[in-house]
Amino acid sequence: MKRFERLFAPRAIAVVGVSEDAVRPGSPTVHTLLRYGYDGRVYPVNPRYAEFAGLRCYPSIAAIDGDIDVAVLGVPSRSVLPVIEECAAKRVGYAVVLSGGFRESGPEGAALQERMVATARATGMRIVGPNCLGLANVQNNVYAAFGSITRTPKLANGPVSLVTQSGGFGYSVALACAAEAIGFRNVIATGNEADIDTIELIAGLLEDEHTGIILAYIEGLPDGRRVLEAGRRALAVGKPILVWKGGVTEQGARAAASHTANMTGRYDLYKALFKQTGIVEITEIHEAVDYIKGFQSRKFPAGQRVAVMGGSGGSAIVFADAAESSGLSLSSFTERTKKQLSEVVPAIGSVENPVDFTAGYIQGGNADKFEIAVRSVLEDPGIDGVCVNFATIGGASCLAGAEVLSGLAARTHKPLVVFLSVPPEETGGALPVFREARIPVLPSPGRAARVLAMLAGYARTRNSATRTAPAGEPIRMPDVLARDRRGRALSEVESKTLLARAGIAVTNERVVRSAEEARLDGLAVPLVVKIASPDIAHKTEIGGIKLGIRTQAELRAAVSEVLENARARAPAAQIEGVLVGEMVTEGFELIAGALNDAVFGPVVIVGAGGIYAEALRDTTCRIAPFDEQTGHEMLNELRCSTILRGARGKPPLDIDALARALGALSRLAWDNRETIAEIDINPLFARREGATAADALIVLRA
C-alpha cells in the first residue's frame, strides 16, 4: 500500500488516554495490540501512570523519544485539541480519534472538530474519526480501536477490507462474514470523517496489494464524482467493491439524519452510480457473505446461461425460479453433453438441464461418474456457470463429492457453486476442501443462483466499463442566454434552441409577434399555438395554449386569443410572442430531464410520461456524461420499454433516436454544469422515426 502506509503498517503507536478503568477507549487498544502480538512499538500515554499493561507509560506525546506513526486518542473531547497540537508538533503521521463529542453533538462540537482538523492540516497530519470505533489491520495485528473491533474472536486474515460509517453495524457484517470463514485485511470505522473519508480510504485500499475485495457500509458521501472515479478504477484493477447504502428510504434517511451529518443523498442516483461502476449493492448481511464467497472464486460467467445438477428435484426447481428472477437462463445442453451424461446418469434421472442424477448419486463409490457428469456440463459451450445441489448430502459422501468438484474447479474458468444444507459438523470435512478450491458453498439454491447472477452482472459491467461519453466539442450555452439569468428559467424557445444545438430534435415551430404574422406555410397541420414567455410556466392555466389548428383562419384566431389571454391574466409577464408549431400526433410520451445534483453533479433521468408519469414512477437515471449505449440501457430498464419496442401489434418506435437524445442531453448537462441547474423535456415523444422534444424548460443555477 502506498497511501496510508503509515496508518495501516505503523512501526510505532501511541495510545493517549489509557486507564485502569477498562471503559476508557484507549485501554482495549493497548491490550489488543499486546494480545495479538503487534510487533511495533506501543507507547501508552497518561501522566498518572508510570507503567501500563507492563509497558512504560508516558506523561505526554512530547515525552516519547521515537517517531510515532499513529496516535490513538481516547481522551474526553475537551482534551483532544491539546493532544492533537502535541501530535502535530511531533510530526505524528495519523491521529485516530476515538473520542465522541464533536460534530455529532452540536455546534460547539462541530467548531471543536474544525479546529482539530485545521491544526492537523497545518503539519500534514491526517485524522481518522473522531467519534469512531477506529481501525484494525488484521494481518499486521494493528489495532487502533476499541469496542467490538477489539473483542474476541479475532478476525481471520483474508482479502476483504471493510470501510464503515457505522462501527457497530459494519462490524456486525464482518462477524457474519467471519462465521463463514471469510478473512479480512483492514477494518476501518470512519466516524465523523472530519478529515479522511470513506472515498479516500476506498481509493487507498485499491492500491493495497493485500486487499482484494472492498466492503463498505455508507450512509452518505460528500462527492459522488469521486466515488464514480474510484468505482471505475476498482473495476479496471479487478477489485470488486460491495456497498451497503443505509438510509435509502424516507424513514431510513430520517433516522440517518438524526444520527449523522452525512447527507444520505438520493437513492436513485446511488443506484445509477452502482450500475455505472459495477459496485455491487448489498441490502442484507447474508448477501455480503454470499457475494464475497462468489468473488473469492475469481471466476465469472461469460454470460447468463447456467446449469443446475443434483439429486433433489425440489432444489433444482427452486434454483430455476431464483435463476429466472435474477436474469439467468437454464439453457439446453448440446447433444454431445447429453450423450456424455446419459452414459453416467441413471436412466430414471434426467440428462436435460436441470440434470437429475438421482438421489444417492454423490458418494465415494460413484466419484468417477459424478466427475464425468459435472465435467460434461462444465465443458458445454452453451453453459457459463454451474450449480451442484448437494442439499442434504453429508458425511463421507459429501467429502467425496467435494474432492471431485475441487479437482474440476482447478481446471475450469467457469464458476462452480454448491448448495449444501447439512450442518457444518455433518459435512465430513468437506467445507475446507470447498474453501481451498474456492468453490462457493451456499445454504440455499436461491442464494446460489443469485451469486451466479451477481458475478455475471459484474463481468458484464466490467466488459463495458471503458465506455464513457464520446469525445467531441463541448456544447456550450451562448453567453447571451446565461447573462443576468442565474436562478431563472429560459423560455421554451430558448430552451429548445439549446436542445437543438445539442442535437436533440425539437418540434418544427416559429415565433410570431401577432396574428397578422402567423402563416401556415411550411408547417404540417395540425398545429399548436402557445404563448411564449419566460415568465409563464403553466401556460394551460391562463389559456395560453390552443391545439389542433388546421386552417389559416383558425391560426390567426388562436394567436390573437392566446395573446389576449396572456395580457389579461398575466399582465406582468414579458411576452416574447406566440409559438406556432407542428403538433406531434403519433408516438409515445416520455419525460426526460437533467438535474445538477449536490452530490453527483449532472444526472439524466428518463421515464414514462403522460398520465402515468407520477403514478408509475417508471423512471431511471444515470450520471452524466454518457454514451448512446448507456441511453439504450436506460430505456431497456423502463417498464414502458415494451411499448417502445411495439406493444400490441403496434410498430416499434425509434429507440436509437431516443438513446442518442439521452446521450446528447447528458453531454449538454455536463458541458454546462456551471450554468445549468435543470433541464426538463416534457414530453419527449418517441416516434416511429426520431424522437422529438415537444416542450422544454431549462433552469439556470442560482
**Interface residues for its own copies in 393-412 (CB under 8 A)?**
394
**How far apart are alpha carbons 18 and 561 in whole angstroms?**
83
Considering the complex, state which of residue 365 and residue 571 has its C-beta at the smaller distance from its own copies: 365
- Does 334 engage in binding with its own copies (CB under 8 A)? no
Nearer to its own copies, 152 or 466 (CB): 152
Distance in Å, CB of 551 to its own copies, minimum: 20
Q: Which of 303, 313, 407, 690 binds its own copies (CB under 8 A)?
A: 313
Q: Which is nearer to its own copies, 283 or 629 (CB)?
A: 283
Binding to its own copies, residues 449-508 (CB under 8 A): none
Of 47, 82, 314, 327, the residue at the interface with its own copies (CB under 8 A) is 314
Pick out residues in 629-648 that bind its own copies (CB under 8 A).
639-640, 642-643, 647-648
697 near 495, Cβ under 8 Å?
A: yes
Residue 342 lies near its own copies (rule: CB under 8 A): no
Interface pick for its own copies out of 200, 356, 384, 695 (rule CB under 8 A): 356
Q: Which part of the chain contacts its own copies (CB under 8 A), choosing from 62-70, 304-312, 402-410, 561-569? A: 304-312
Q: How many Å apart are CA 465 and CA 369, to the nearest integer?
A: 41
Q: Which of 39, 108, 324, 516 binds its own copies (CB under 8 A)?
A: 324
CB of 346 to its own copies, least distance (A): 11
For the bound state, the minimum distance from the C-beta of residue 689 to its own copies, rounded and expressed in Å, comes to 19
Per CB under 8 A, which of residues 63..122 are in contact with its own copies? 100-101, 104-105
Report which DSSP code applies to 345. S
Residues 140-199 interacting with its own copies (rule: CB under 8 A)? 147-148, 151-153, 164-173, 175-176, 178-179
Of the residues 160, 213, 318, 635, which one makes contact with its own copies according to CB under 8 A: 318
571 or 649: CB nearest its own copies: 649
Size of the chain, expressed as the number of residues it contains: 702
Lookup result for grid cell 448430502: 393
For the CA atoms of 483, 485, 490, 495, the dihedral, rounded to the nearest 10 degrees, stands at 40
Stretches 113-121, 319-327, 452-460, 557-565: which one binds its own copies (CB under 8 A)? 319-327
Q: Which of residues 210-229 bind its own copies (CB under 8 A)?
A: 217, 219
Nearer Cβ to its own copies (254/486): 254
Instruction: Tell me how far apart the alpha carbons of residues 198 and 262 are, in angstroms, rounded to a whole number.
Output: 11
Q: Stretches 115-123, 430-438, 509-517, 610-618: which one binds its own copies (CB under 8 A)?
A: 610-618
- The site string for its own copies over 17-56 (x = CB under 8 A, - otherwise) reads ------x---------------------------------
* Contact string 249-288 vs its own copies (x = CB under 8 A): xxxx-xxx-xxx----------------------xxxx--
C-alpha to C-alpha distances, 620 to 249, 266, 304, nearest whole angstrom: 17, 12, 23
Report how far residue 519's alpha carbon sits from residue 556's, in angstroms, rounded to the nearest whole number. Answer: 8
**What CA–CA distance (Å, rounded) separates 641 from 110?**
49
- How far apart, in Å, are the Cα atoms of 52 and each of 28, 42, 47, 92, 146? 12, 11, 11, 21, 17
**Considering only 421-429, 474-482, 529-537, 545-553, which stretch makes contact with its own copies by CB under 8 A?**
421-429
SS3 241: strand
Distances (CA, A) of 615 to 587, 609, 610, 618, 619: 20, 10, 10, 8, 11
316 binds its own copies, rule: CB under 8 A: yes
In the complex, the smallest distance separating the C-beta of residue 649 from its own copies, rounded to whole angstroms, is 10
Min separation Cβ 274 and its own copies, Å: 16
CB of 326 to its own copies, least distance (A): 10
- Alpha carbon distances (Å) from 140 to 19, 25, 34, 134, 327: 25, 21, 12, 15, 41
**Cβ nearer to its own copies, comparing 176 with 573:** 176
Among 108, 321, 343, 516, binds its own copies (CB under 8 A): 321
Using CB under 8 A, pick the residue from 354, 428, 581, 609 that binds its own copies: 354
Site string for its own copies, 433-452 (x = CB under 8 A): ----------xxxxx-----
Exposure letters 160-176 (e unless 16+ CB within 10 A, then b): bbbbbbbbebbbebbee
**593 bridge partner residues:** 605, 680
Nearer to its own copies, 259 or 513 (CB): 259
Q: Which is nearer to its own copies, 199 or 393 (CB)?
A: 393
Interacting residue with its own copies among 330, 405, 431, 566 (CB under 8 A): 330
Question: Would residue 610 be called left, alpha or beta, if left means φ above 0 and alpha means ψ between -120 and 50 degrees?
Answer: left
DSSP β-ladder status, 545-549 and 355-356? unpaired
CA distances from residue 518 to 528, 534, 556 in whole angstroms, order as listed: 12, 21, 6
| Smallest gap from residue 300 Cβ to its own copies (A) | 22
DSSP 150-213: GSSSPPPEEEEEEEES-HHHHHHHHHHHHHTT--EEEEEE-TT-SSS-HHHHHHHHHT-TT--E
Instruction: Label residue 223 exposed, middle or buried (CB < 10 Å: 0-12, 13-18, 19+).
Output: middle
C-beta of 100: minimal distance to its own copies in Å?
7
Is the torsion defined by CA of 17, 18, 21, 22 positive or negative? positive
Cis peptide before 240 (omega within 30 of 0): no
Q: How do beta strands 676-686 and 601-608 pair?
A: unpaired
Identify the residue among 616, 637, 656, 701 touching its own copies (CB under 8 A).
616
Size of the site for its own copies (CB under 8 A): 94
